[in-house]
Structure 1
Amino acid sequence: MMKKFGAMILAAILGSFLTLCIFLIMDRGEGRSIKIEHVSKPAISGVAYAKNDKGDIVPLDFTDISEEVMPAVVHIKSTQLQNANQYQNRGNSDPFRHFFDDDMFRYFFGPEFRNESPQPRQRGPQARVGTGSGVIINSEGYIVTNNHVIDHADDIEVTLNDNRVFKAKVVGNDPSTDLALLQIKAKELPHLPLANSDEVEVGEWVLAVGNPFNLNSTVTAGIVSAKGRNINILQDQRAIESFIQTDAAINPGNSGGALVNLQGGLIGINTAIASPTGAYAGYGFAVPANIVSKVVEDLIKYGMVQRGFLGLMIRNVDGNLAKEKDLKITSGVFVDSISNNSAAGDAGVKVEDVITEVDGIQVKTTGKLLELIGRQHPGDTVVLSIDRKGKSIEIPVILRNLDGNPEMVVKEDHEILDVLGVELKEVDRKKARELDIPGGIKIGRIKPGILQRHTDIREGFIITKVDGRSVRTVDEFVEYLKSIEGGVMVEGVYEDYPGTYYYAFGL
């Protein structure tokens, strides 16, 4: 036995190879720098190690790493208050329903939605409470969690590992990655450094830390089962899915919790599971830390996520597609079509090209490509390695924003919509003719804000007038609201309900 396990290797030895990088981000509100730690080598060595008969180093247990990580993982309780007689929006389908044609995939938190008719709620204020987890990422109270944990919440309560309780504010959110950033008023908090998730390898040990079934500070162990998984669960049109898959036990309540490596670095935020029952079945999925880092830094610095786009429609290359299109390779990302005013198209990318690398990083799936591009800002240049009918070429592309230019989006243009808590899009001429309206703007999504708190307005409502003035574009609507103070009356229609509806609110 003594020969088998040999002498213990002290954690301090392994920890001496630490390379620590601290990013200084300017806080928009106070003009001060905020530290977010990143590690490219172990920040701590939290596992007891020994040598086996072959002289290889093997872990004995996870006691030290668990002790280091647990204080940085918090319990989150979110409460949504609903008005009397408020109609419940049941228009969003279950995001997991169409995966393998069953209900296999589920979020950890929040109601399931079905395509049913709206039903009136009972009279009187109603409170819906949900729970999840979060990870403290710096000593000044910044906490990362999943967007679906706090989405639509009117009140967010954070309980630390030492049982202290704080109210949290939402710094910002990013539905396209299902991430949100919270802050509590506390200092000198234990926190986790962000590891480089590109360095994560399939087969390495990981720990999942969270609050499943309200069982606080639960630690489970497993391995990385796969990388770059796209499981089509996020409903946002610009969703970025490149999940780390793990078999560490994850259950409802773990959502927003930490997935860490054996050196205590945060490699992902636990987000979803695959299960026929809604409980652990061996398949968990976490948002990679490099995506988390991008989202957090943008929310702090810009107040919103600044993301560059290629302007391509893409799909994975497999053996069947390679045969169908007579491709010379059987892995990569196939360019199906190119959008108008596309950054990649204008740079020289063509339909039926196969993207194999981005800035020298291999790309085998659409999820990985979206992840790598999604980390960039408008105006950034990426180099795409392309296979074009067997010939390898490299094309530099200057990424663009959704408006088709390489400039950063100005936060002020979106602040009024953030205050209202809505995402809007213009109604096209064909739809306007069908509804017999001159035009309008449609509410695509309702988030926490004035409209949710003070009106019964529902997603899908088409605004045709504001204070009696016709509106046909989002810009017209925003500019008018910027020019007034006090009460506002919007008028409009629902596609599936007759009549004209009116909603009033204050600014």
Structure 2
Amino acid sequence: MKKIGNLLLASVLGGAITLGSYQLIFDKEAIPATFTASPNENSFLPVSNSNLYGTNVDFTEAAEKTVHAVVHVKNVAVFKGPRSIWEYYQYGNSGGRALQGSGSGVIITPDGYIVTNNHVIDGANELEVTLNNNQTYKAEVIGTDKISDIALIKVDAENLEYIPFGDSDNTKLGEWVLAVGNPFNLKSTVTAGIISAKARDLNVQDNSPQSFIQTDAAINPGNSGGALVNINGELIGINTAITSPSGSYIGYAFAVPSNNARKIVEDIIEFGDVQQGILGIRGGSTINISPDIKAEYNVNTAQGVFVSEVTLGSGAQKAGIKTGDVIRKIDNIDIKSFSELTGYINSKRPGDKVLVKVLRDGDEKEINVELTKNEIYVASMLGLEFKNATKEELKKFKTDNGVFINGTTMKNLPENELVGSLVTQVNSKKVGSIDDIKNALANRDTGDPIYIKYLDKTGKEQSMLWQ
């Protein structure tokens, strides 16, 4: 009996040891994995003892939700004359050669509205859209915004799969994203990455600062106009640009935030063009202002937008924003740079109200501002500031179109002569609003000269050339 008892005890102990070993090996909670930044427990430097953790983000659901709503867009443009000596010999003086370009687009409604880049469809005589299931449709252009590089097109179809808009203001640095495109009609492709930066200003065109989402998800030229989505399959951006000497992806790419794209699309559908609201200030990031200005206006912060000038008659001026104020928040969204301010305001319309928190002489103030319509445009490449003219002002110049020169931004320009003059043509095209000037400058080929006709303050026609 004693031998049997000893054998039974040995069996129990063996089972317990085996079970304990099993738990040590397979039960992750039994011994939590930890790390330390320094082997010296008495280190005076910060040391982390947090549990190691990994990530197992599942992209499959987001990919399945979105690939069928991203399309291939083919642009056929016909040029009436030869663009080079080689085309002259090949096609003669009549030209008429059909050139094809392509990109991607995002279906945003089940009845066939599609967002893409303006540069994808620019100059098209014919647009063809191919879905991920190889169905092909002819598309028409509903409207474009060349400044933001957004275009809205439509196909005649029903019950299409689409991607709902997400809130790009709620995106965070380090957040996982998918770039979905349909390049070269190869069916939809998906790449993954994170948000590397927000409110990135590339200064790609001569206009107010842009505000892009930067990502390291691989985006190549055929993906232009495709979707940037979060892991819930919501549209948070329209993939637009890459910065690369070779023209191919080298580690970062850029997307127009979805809030801005949605606002542009809604404006085009409702009004036929983009309704741009402005705060009515000039300024820049506080980190860039001089020590003398900081001392003069008692600016003691490195983050925010310093107001260097308030436009007369603007919403900012009427609400009481003053030169020297530092804008810290708009609608409880932190504003650290001018591009962040521009990005948020570009998602608003004239008449919208925003709550602006400013720092003035060390005290914070909250000011309600009603946005006004953009009536001022600074063309930095020309060194000129333009202002829309009223009908009464045009009558004084005995003309039916024109835009005022409101100021100069380059010291070598004759300010006294130019300010108050009325620009009537840019590159032989009549202009009647600051939007006409924006479009004329945006549509010119890089490096082409700029020719302006204007009426001086006496009504005499003058001209200027920029090369």
Matches within 5 A, 1:56-455: 58-59=55-56, 61-84=58-81, 122-212=93-183, 215-235=186-206, 237=207, 239=208, 241-318=210-287, 321=290, 325-326=294-295, 327-403=299-375, 425-426=402-403, 440-442=424-426, 443=429, 444=437
**Distance 1:260-1:193 versus aligned 2 partners, 3 A rule:** same
* CA–CA separation in structure 2 for the residues paired with 1:269 and 1:215: 19
Letter in 1 for 2:227: A
Structure 1 residues 298 and 323: CA distance shift in structure 2, 3 A: same
- Tell me the distance in 1 between the aligned counterparts of 2:341 and 2:439: 29
Distance in 1 between residues matched to 2:353 and 2:27, nearest whole Å: 55
Q: Residues 462 and 85 from structure 1, CA distance in 2 versus in 1: closer, same or farther, beyond 3 angstroms? A: farther
1:266 aligned partner, one-letter code: L
Query: 1:145: how far off?
Result: 0.8
What secondary structure is seen at the aligned counterpart in 1 of 2:269?
A: helix
Asked whether the 8 Å contact 1:240–1:374 carries over to 2, the reply is no
How far the C-alpha of 1:342 sits from its partner, in A, is 2.6
Distance 1:80 1:446 in 2: 19
CA offsets 1:249-304 (integer angstroms, 9 cap, x no match): 11111111000111101111111112232111111111111111211111111112
Return the letter of the residue paired with 2:110: S
The alpha-carbon deviation at position 313 of structure 1 amounts to 1.4
User: What are the Cα deviations for residues 225-267 of structure 1, in whole angstroms up to 9, with x where unaligned?
Assistant: 11111111134x3x45211111001111111100011110111
Judging by fraction of residues, say which structure has more helix.
2
2:108 corresponds to which letter in structure 1? I
Could you tell me whether the CA contact under 8 Å between 2:404 and 2:422 is conserved in 1?
Answer: no
State the Cα distance separating 1:347 from its structure 2 match.
Answer: 2.0
Asked if the contact 1:249/1:280 (under 8 Å) is kept, the reply is yes
Show the counterpart of 1:43: none
CA distance in 2, matches of 1:200, 1:292: 15
State, as a whole percentage, how many aligned pairs show the same letter: 43
* CA–CA separation in structure 2 for the residues paired with 1:64 and 1:85: 49
Structure 2: distance between partners of 1:240 and 1:337: 17
Output one character per residue of 1:200-238: Cα deviation in whole Å (capped at 9) or x when no partner. Answer: 111111110113455431110101111111111134x3x
Asked whether the 8 Å contact 2:283–2:338 carries over to 1, the reply is yes
- C-alpha deviation, 1:338, in angstroms: 2.5
Q: 1:335 to 1:320 in 2, by over 3 A?
A: closer
CA drift of 1:62 comes to 2.5
> What is the alpha-carbon distance in structure 2 between the residues aligned to residue 463 and residue 140 of structure 1?
46
Give deviations 1:119-157, integer Å, cap 9, x for gaps.
xx9542133321111100110100011112112222211
Alpha-carbon offset, residue 314 of structure 1: 1.8
Shift, 1:194, TM fit: 0.6
Distance in 2 separating the partners of 1:240 and 1:278: 22
Q: CA deviation at 1:64?
A: 3.1
- Name structure 2 gaps, 5 residues minimum: 1-24, 30-49, 86-91, 377-389, 391-400, 407-413, 430-436
CA deviation string 1:371-390 (max 9, x = no partner):
22222221222121101121
CA, structure 1 residues 275+2, in 2 after alignment: closer, same or farther (shift >3 Å)?
farther
Name the SS of the counterpart of 1:195 in structure 2: coil
**Is the 8 Å Cα contact of residues 385 and 394 (structure 1) preserved in structure 2?**
yes
Q: Secondary structure at the match of 1:64?
A: helix
Distance apart, 1:346 and its partner CA:
2.9
- Partner AA of 2:195 in structure 1: V
Could you tell me which runs of 5 or more consecutive residues in structure 1 were left unpaired when the two chains were aligned.
6-52, 89-120, 405-412, 414-423, 453-457, 465-471, 473-491, 498-507
- Greater Rg over alpha carbons, structure: 2
With normalisation by structure 2, the TM-score equals 0.68
The farther-off stretch of 295-304 and 337-346 is: 337-346
User: The residue matched to 2:345 in structure 1 has which SS?
Assistant: helix
Name the structure, 1 or 2, with higher relative contact order (CA <8 Å, separation 6+). Answer: 1
Letter paired with 1:382: V
Give the conservation status (yes or no) of the 8 Å contact 2:110–2:160: yes
SS of residue matched to 1:249: coil
Name the CA distance, whole Å, in 1 between partners of 2:205 and 2:216. 21
Q: Which amino acid aligns with 2:192?
A: A
CA contact (8 A) 1:445 1:459 kept: no
Alpha-carbon separation, structure 1, partners of 2:281 and 2:84: 38
CA deviations 1:457-491 (Å, max 9, x no partner) are x9857599xxxxxxx9xxxxxxxxxxxxxxxxxxx
Q: Return the offset for 1:339.
A: 2.6
Residues 38-93 of structure 1: CA distance to partner in whole angstroms, max 9, x if unpaired? Answer: xxxxxxxxxxxxxxx979794354233222211000111112222236899xxxxx
Count of residues in Structure 1 that have an aligned counterpart in Structure 2: 361
